[in-house]
A and B are shown apart, each in its own frame.
Chain A
Amino acid sequence: MKKLFVLLMLGLLLFVAACSSEGAASEGETDDSESNGTTANTDTAEESSEPQEKQVVTFWHSMGGAGQEALNAIVESYNNSQDKVQVNAEYQGSYDEALTKFNAVAGTDSAPTMIQTFEIGTMSMINSGNIVPIQEFVDADGYDMSGLEENIVNYYSLDGEFYSMPFNSSTPVMYYNKDAFEAAGLDPEAPPETFEEVEAAGRAIAEANPDMKGFALQAYGWLWEQLLANQGALLLNNDNGRTNTPTEIGWTEEEGKSIFQWVENMVNDETFANYGTNGDNMVAGFLAGDVAMFLQSSASSRDVIDNAPFEVGIAFLPHPEDKERSGVVIGGASLWMIDGKPEAEHEAAWDFMKYLQTPEIQGQWHVGTGYFAINPSAYDEQVVIDAYEEMPQLQVTVDQLQETQSSYATQGGLMDMIPQGRKIMETALETVYNGGEIDEAYDAAVEQFNAAIEQANAARGE
């Protein structure tokens, strides 16, 4: 038995050795080819006096569809605008998937130079210790971050320090079918603003056209967080985790249940369209005229406007009648600088990040996707002004953000368990969609949410 074990270990050792030597060999190869490249370059440099080989920056992102096209165009224009840096943008799947891949390669040579991570990944990125805070580059470069949109600065700066570079930001908005509003005798230019008005509009629409449902809410935890924030409610205690590590949920029973009640009213009225957790199906249903209103990120606005065979309206996120509208939390993602890379590579990536903040690029990005410009001076760009002429709806997303009151509620929750919390709320919402008891669904969700917070704190040894 002992011999067997020794043999096994020996075998393992051999295997590992073979692996590592192979790795070393292939590394050597790439080194060779690189140095070949350099010599080739210096050869040409001697002839045409061109500078050194370009510094390569690997950029992992999660932009699919229209976003990917717009992003690739920007990266290409950056690569063509100068000859020192070559940015390679690599699509790595959804934010979740990219983050999982990143955690697997963090600290190795395969890690990218910079990665785009969603807003709720902020805390786990900081906790991971694999990143360089952007503030270091801002200070070293004397770069002025005050030009950025105020609400974005609020979200991404912690104790006055930027850990990541804001990039693509969106907020949730309500899309509605203007033609259906007209057919139901509603004013298409005065979309419903409160939960109660949405219910009434839904009833009117369903009455005018029995084949069309009034309203759809994707079971998506992010929308739940936004509907809370719009009432001025916190997601987590300790000021949404901004003053201290959260220990339990931050909303009150009244605030939380108002959303459930709203949905249940519409389910009972049979004006609610249930698409479960699938956002694509919901958009497809809207475009096909199955449902007249739905909530979704403003990032889809360009897609929806372009593809709808009818006039699309975009409105602010609804809120309960007895509450004042408090505004929305920034959604979307930011760019992180990864630790353990040569300084030249960091500098190159920093240069690219600065390029992304320029008004021209932000204008192009805003118009091409529906994410808003994080640099407000982009709104003065000609390309934006032209687009607003054609699609005034795009402006609503910007207005909503600028009317948001700055508070802990609209700064958004900050904790590493938020992805888990979202799943919990999605399950609870689905229960209500399918006719489940509100009280039961709500209590179960709160209990699980608190347990998740406790577990996350315990895992950090707190």
Chain B
Amino acid sequence: MSMNSVAIRSHESMELIFEQAKKRQRMKSWIKGMLFLLPSIVLFGVFLFYPLLRTIYLSFFLTDASGETTVFVGWQNYMNIFTSPIFLQSMKSTFLFVLYTVPITVFISLFLAIIANEKLKGTGFFRTIFSSSMGISVAAASVFWLYLFNPTMGVLNRILEFFGMDAIGWLTNPDWALLAVSVTTIWMNIGFTFLILLGGLQSIDSYLYESADIDGAGYFYKLRRITIPMLSPTLFFVVTVTIINAFQTFGQIDILTQGGPQNETNLIVYSIYREAFVNYQFGSASAQAVVLFILILLMTALQFKFGERKVHYQ
């Protein structure tokens, strides 16, 4: 009896020790894991999470010129921006801008990637050319386009005049300015999008095409039934990234139009910049930033919900 109880007790204590050892083990591996994560946690914390929280905090205050909070106003900043015609205009412009740039960028890049993927002599040269705009900084590209759009000596107006048409105020006419900026952006984004899509195309297994060939499938049938479905993860990535980029456009606006004419090209990020660093209203700038954050979050979530269904992962 006593022997038995001792055995049970020792068994219990063994189990306890075992439990403890297991707990310690788990703790250890948790710490080890955390240590591996620490660099990115610290970096994200300092450069992303802290600014994010700070932005949300600032959006409930008015500030002085150095960004120190002065008066708590609650939701007033949000109410102000949603009744301000300038902010509503910039929301509208941003959505139009996304609409103008994203489909066209993806379509042109896809077309270029498909023709550059053909195994012909000299494709390497064209691949380099098509992706070359990736190597040009936003500032350099914008200055280049600024000269093309120049009302006095710009090439575009020279061409129009040659054909006997009236010169267009590309960057000063509210009907054209957003289009002009969109064209610039499309040109700039094609390089990157093209490269990613080309990479996607090249990773499609050639046996798929070979079996299709044996079945006697035509070029466009293969394109529709093999290429596009197999490319869909890449396409999905490209569309998501281009949309986010379009929402965050800044450089080309700053150089080409400064948000003008009549705020027609005053996209959200530029409007935030102006509110914070020209008007020194850090509070309402932060409120706009929070709105932009929520917008992009929603857009991306919606894409994952609806877009991803059509994506075919191997």
Contact check, B172 vs A278: say whether CB atoms are below 8 A apart.
yes
Tell which of B34, B65, B150 touches A124, judged by Cβ atoms closer than 8 Å. B65
Task: Report how far A431 CA is from B274 CA in the complex, Å.
Answer: 20
Asked if A285 lies at the interface with its beta carbon under 8 angstroms from chain B, I say yes
Q: What's the least CB distance linking A113 to chain B, in Å?
A: 19
Please tell me if the beta carbons of A275 and B172 are within 8 angstroms of each other in the complex: yes
Which one, B121-129, B234-242, B278-286, B302-310, is touching chain A? B278-286
Give the interface residue-count category, chain B. Answer: 35 or more
Asked, given contacts A419-B279, A460-B70, whether A274 binds B169 with beta carbons under 8 Å apart, the answer is yes
Produce 1/0 per residue, B157-185, CB < 8 A to A. Answer: 00000000000010111100000000000
CA distance A460 to B280 in the complex (A): 12
Cross-chain contact of B150 among A12, A100, A281, A461 (Cβ < 8 A): A281
Stretch at the interface among A194-202, A303-311, A420-428: A420-428
A66 at interface, CB cutoff 8 A: no
Point out the residue from A12, A96, A459 that lies within 8 Å of B281, measured CB to CB: A459
Interface flags, A424-447, vs B, CB<8A=1, else 0: 001100110110100000001000
How many Å lie between the Cα of A431 and that of B85 in the bound state? 14
User: Is B263 interfacial (CB-CB < 8 Å)?
Assistant: yes
Q: Which B residues touch A278, using CB under 8 A?
A: 171-172
Is there a chain A Cβ closer than 8 Å to B301's Cβ? no
Whether, in the assembled complex, A262 has its beta carbon less than 8 Å from a beta carbon of chain B, the answer is: no
Tell me if A332 is interfacial: C-beta within 8 Å of chain B: no
Choice from A127, A281, A444 contacting B151 with Cβ under 8 Å:
A281
Determine the interface band of chain A, counting residues with CB < 8 A from chain B.
Answer: 35 or more
Answer whether residue B260 sits at the interface, using C-beta atoms and an 8 A cutoff.
yes
Complex CA–CA separation, A8 to B71 (angstroms): 31
The one of A12, A96, A433, A436 in contact with B277, judged by C-beta atoms closer than 8 angstroms, is: A96
Question: Which of B17-25, B40-48, B224-232 contacts the other chain?
Answer: B40-48
A141 to B80, CA, bound (A): 50
Q: Are A461 and B41 in contact (CB under 8 A)?
A: no
B233 beta carbon closer than 8 Å to chain A = no
A284 in contact with B153 given A8-B41, A15-B42, A434-B174 (CB within 8 Å): yes
Question: CA separation between A428 and B46, bound complex, in Å?
Answer: 41
Q: Which residue of A lies closest to B63 (CB)?
A: A459
Interface residues of A in 235-278 (CB under 8 A from B): 274-278
- Chain B residues lying within 8 Å of A7, measured Cβ to Cβ, are 34, 38, 41
Chain A interfacial positions (CB closer than 8 Å to B): 4, 7-8, 11-12, 14-15, 96, 100, 103, 106, 124, 127-128, 219, 274-278, 281, 284-285, 288, 290, 416-417, 419-420, 423, 426-427, 430-431, 433-434, 436, 444, 448, 452, 455, 458-461
Name 13 A/B residue pairs within 8 A (Cβ), A-sorted. Answer: A8-B41, A275-B172, A276-B172, A281-B152, A285-B151, A417-B279, A420-B279, A423-B274, A427-B86, A430-B260, A434-B172, A434-B173, A436-B262
Task: Give B contacts to A, CB under 8 Å.
Answer: 34, 38, 41-42, 45-46, 62-67, 70-71, 73, 80, 85-86, 150-153, 169, 171-174, 257-258, 260-263, 274, 277-281, 283
